[in-house]
Amino acid sequence: MISKQLSVFVENRKGRLEEVLNVLKENGINILSLSLADTTEYGLLRLIVNDCNKGKEALTKSGFSTLLSDILIIKISNISGSLDETLKVLSKNDISVEYMYGLSVDGTKASIVIKTNDILKTDGIFTANKIETIGIEEI
């Protein structure tokens, strides 16, 4: 199941990240997970939120450059080696991972956000290999 991620372009400037978070707060948007990657001049804040359309609209209105992109949230066993197994399936099928980040961990399961070069194909591969993907509302 393909989910949406909200990405925001953030300059490396004091207080800039806080401005993004403030807009989300003002609009009652809840962040479920995030990843912040940066270069020396700017960063990309990638967010999984409860209402990505509303989040995008609010941030765009406040002058941020935003984008909704397709990602997959996989739920795998919380044991050593399970992520390795999952990625092997992808590389065997000639899929490359662009980035991923952790979402949540409970007793037996771990959820991970994953972005690949071909999300549609990846979704099919996961289904075929019985790797569980979940939607944002199931988190």
Partner 1 sequence: MIWSKEETLSRKEIEEIQTARLIETVNRVYNNVPYYKKKMDDVGLKPEHIKSLKDLSKLPFVTKQDMRDTYPFGLFAVPKSQLVRIHASSGTTGKPTVVGYTKNDMKMWTEAVSRIACMGGATEKDVAQICFGYGMFTGALGLHYGLENIGATVVPSSTGNSEKQIMYMKDFETTLLVATPSYALRLAEVAQEMGIDPKKDLKVKIGLFGSEMLTDAMREEVHNFWGKDMMVTSNYGMSELLGPGVSGECTELCGMHINEDFFIPEIINSETGEVLPEGEKGELVVTCIKKEGIPLIRYRTKDITRLFYEPCKCGRTFARMENLSGRSDDMLKIRGVNVFPSQIEEVIFGFSELGPHYEIIIEREGFSDKLTVRVELLKNTDSFTELEALSKNVRARLKVMLGIDAKVMLESPNTLQRFEGKAKRIKDLRNVK
CB of 81 to partner 1, least distance (A): 29
Q: Which is nearer to partner 1, 46 or 75 (CB)?
A: 46
CB of 61 to partner 1, least distance (A): 9
Question: How far is Cα 30 from Cα 33, in angstroms, rounded to an integer?
Answer: 9
Q: Give the whole-angstrom CA distance, residue 116 versus residue 121.
A: 9
Residue nearer to partner 1 on the CB measure, 64 or 93: 64
| Site residues for partner 1 per CB under 8 A | 5, 7, 9-11, 37, 39, 41-42, 44, 46, 63-67, 69, 98
Q: Quick check: 71 and 113 in contact, CB under 8 A?
A: yes
Give CA angle at 137 (132, 139), nearest 5°. Answer: 60
Least Cβ distance, residue 17 to partner 1 (angstroms): 12
Cβ–Cβ < 8 Å for 104, 48? no
Nearer to partner 1, 11 or 138 (CB): 11
Q: What angle do CA 61, 35, 120 make, to 5 degrees?
A: 85
User: 69 or 82: whose CB is closer to partner 1?
Assistant: 69
